[in-house]
Amino acid sequence: MNMDFNMYMNDIVSQARSEIREAGYTELTTPEVVDEHLNKKGTALVMINSVCGCAGGIARPAAKHALNYDKLPDQLLTVFAGQDKEATEHVREKATEFLPSSPSFALFKDGKIVDMIERHEIEGHETMSVITNLQAWFEKHGKEI
């Protein structure tokens, strides 16, 4: 069987994007859109998405299921590492105290980085532990829904 690699990757990326969008996250695809959202007052959770196994098996399910909570950030956002390269780099420039990693989660408040769940806290961990970490952020920094 002869399969076109780019076609295969486009299918994977498309599925990964739609999965996180359907969960309620807004895509950040350019540096300008990053600034538009992260310069707003309030809290923003940014899921840095990717096509790796720990993104599909742990991070995206955690991003979705963590939302079943009484408090949430003001904004749910996502950027796709390796796809929306300039937007991803722009988010990372706002979190310079953390090494770039994907998948990961970044919590911003009033445009400033508050905390990050890095890949090493996702890969090899249970989905529930990532959900628990996200919901701890929501409890501390979120608003009652």
Label the pairing between strands 71-72 and 143-144.
Answer: antiparallel
Q: Is residue 72 among the annotated active site residues?
A: no
- Torsion angle (degrees, nearest 10) of CA 109, 114, 120, 124: -60
Please tell me which residue in 54, 66, 67, 91 is annotated as part of the active site: 54
Label the pairing between strands 143-144 and 104-109.
Answer: unpaired
Please tell me which residue in 20, 44, 48, 52 is annotated as part of the active site: 52
- Torsion angle (degrees, nearest 10) of CA 69, 70, 71, 75: 60
Q: Is residue 48 among the annotated active site residues?
A: no
> Which residues are annotated as catalytic?
52, 54
